[in-house]
C-alpha cells in the first residue's frame, strides 16, 4: 500500500484532490464515466472544494456517499450537507449526479437495498466503483464500519445500516462493494489518527479498516497522523513521499 505524507491537512487534502482528478480523467477516457464514493469529515471537505476547481468532465461524473448519519435533510450532522456545500456549489457537476443516501426513510433496511440498486444502475452489476475515498477513525473504523457492529458481518449486500454509534444510526457501504473498487484512497489527518494509521498500515484485522483491500489502495496522510515520524512508523516496503506542498 502506497503512503504519501504531507505537511498538514490542507496540503494533504489538496494532493488527494489532484489524485482523484487524475483518476476521473482516466476513467472517463476508458469507460465514459467516473463514479466515486466520498466519506465525511473536515479534511474531505477541503479535498472536495479543491476538486471542484479542477477542469473535469463533470457531466460524466457521479458522486455517491460512503456513509451517512440518520438525521433530517440539511442537518449539520449530515455528510450530504457539507458535500453539497463543497462540491455542488463550486463545480459544474449536475445536481442529480450527487446521489444522497436515503436516510430519511422510515424503513432504513429497505432504503439501503434501494441505494444498492442505484449503485448497480450507475456502476454495473455487481457495482464496481472507480474510486472510494475513506477516512479513518481513532478507533480504527472506516466508512461507518464500526467496531462490534453487525454491519461488519454483512457479506451479501453492498449497503447496510448500523446500530447507534456516537449518537446516531448510519447507512454505509459494506466490505463487498468497497473491496471491489478500482481504487481506494485513504485520507488521514490529525494526531488522533496515529495509532489507527499504524495498525492500518500493518494490515491489522483487529480494526475494521484493516479488512479493506490493500492491493489498489493509497494513503494520503499528514505528518500529524503519522506521529511526525513517518519513515519510522511504516514498514520498510512502504512508499513514502514526504512533501510540504
Range of the domain at 164: 2-243
Residues 170-184 pLDDT 10s: 999 999 999 999 999
| Total number of domains constituting the chain | 1
Q: In 10 A of CB 30, how many CB atoms?
A: 11
Sheet containing strand 34-38, edge to edge, reads 98-99, 61-65, 34-38, 131-134, 184-188, 217-222, 2-6, 240-243
Instruction: Give the CATH number for residue 106.
Output: 3.40.50.1360
Distance CA 64, CA 67 (A): 9
Pairing of the two strands 2-6 and 98-99: unpaired
**What pLDDT sits at residue 241?**
52
Work out the average pLDDT over 57-66. 98
What is each CA distance from 6 to 21, 138, 139, 239, in whole angstroms? 18, 19, 23, 13
Q: Do residues 189 and 43 touch, judged by C-beta distance below 8 A?
A: yes
pLDDT tens for 122-167 read: 999 999 999 999 999 999 999 999 999 999 999 999 999 999 998 9
pLDDT tens figures, 75-132: 888 999 989 988 988 999 999 999 999 999 999 999 999 999 999 999 999 999 999 9
Residues 109 and 103: their CA atoms lie apart, in Å, by 10
243 CA to centre of own chain: 23
Task: Tell me if 102 sits within 8 A of 136, measured CB to CB.
Answer: no
Identify the CA nearest to 64 among candidates 93, 23, 28, 106. Answer: 93
Amino acid at each position: 500500500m502506497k503512503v504519501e505524507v504531507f505537511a498538514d491537512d490542507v496540503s494533504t487534502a489538496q494532493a488527494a484532490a489532484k489524485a482523484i482528478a487524475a483518476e476521473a480523467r482516466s476513467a472517463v477516457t476508458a469507460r465514459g464515466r467516473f463514479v466515486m464514493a466520498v466519506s465525511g469529515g473536515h479534511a474531505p471537505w477541503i479535498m472536495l472544494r479543491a476538486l471542484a476547481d479542477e477542469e473535469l468532465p463533470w457531466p460524466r461524473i457521479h458522486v455517491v456517499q460512503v456513509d451517512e448519519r440518520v438525521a433530517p435533510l440539511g442537518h449539520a450532522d449530515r455528510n450530504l450537507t457539507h458535500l453539497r456545500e463543497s462540491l455542488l456549489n463550486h463545480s459544474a457537476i449536475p445536481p442529480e449526479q450527487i446521489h444522497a443516501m436515503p436516510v430519511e426513510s422510515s424503513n432504513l433496511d429497505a432504503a439501503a437495498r434501494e441505494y444498492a440498486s442505484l449503485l448497480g444502475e450507475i456502476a454495473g452489476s455487481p457495482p464496481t466503483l472507480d474510486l472510494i475515498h475513506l477516512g479513518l477513525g481513532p478507533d480504527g473504523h472506516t466508512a461507518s464500519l464500526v467496531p462490534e457492529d453487525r454491519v461488519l458481518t454483512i457479506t451479501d449486500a453492498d449497503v447496510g445500516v448500523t446500530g447507534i454509534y456516537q449518537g446516531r444510526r448510519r447507512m454505509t457501504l459494506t466490505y463487498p462493494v468497497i473491496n471491489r473498487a478500482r481504487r481506494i484512497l485513504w485520507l488521514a489527518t490529525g494526531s488522533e489518527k496515529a495509532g489507527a494509521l499504524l495498525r492500518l498500515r500493518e494490515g491489522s484485522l483487529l480494526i475494521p479498516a484493516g479488512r479493506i483491500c490493500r492491493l489498489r489502495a493509497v494513503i494520503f496522510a499528514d505528518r500529524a497522523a503519522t506521529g511526525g515520524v513517518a519513515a519510522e512508523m511504516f514498514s520498510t516496503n512502504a512508499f513514502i513521499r514526504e512533501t510540504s506542498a
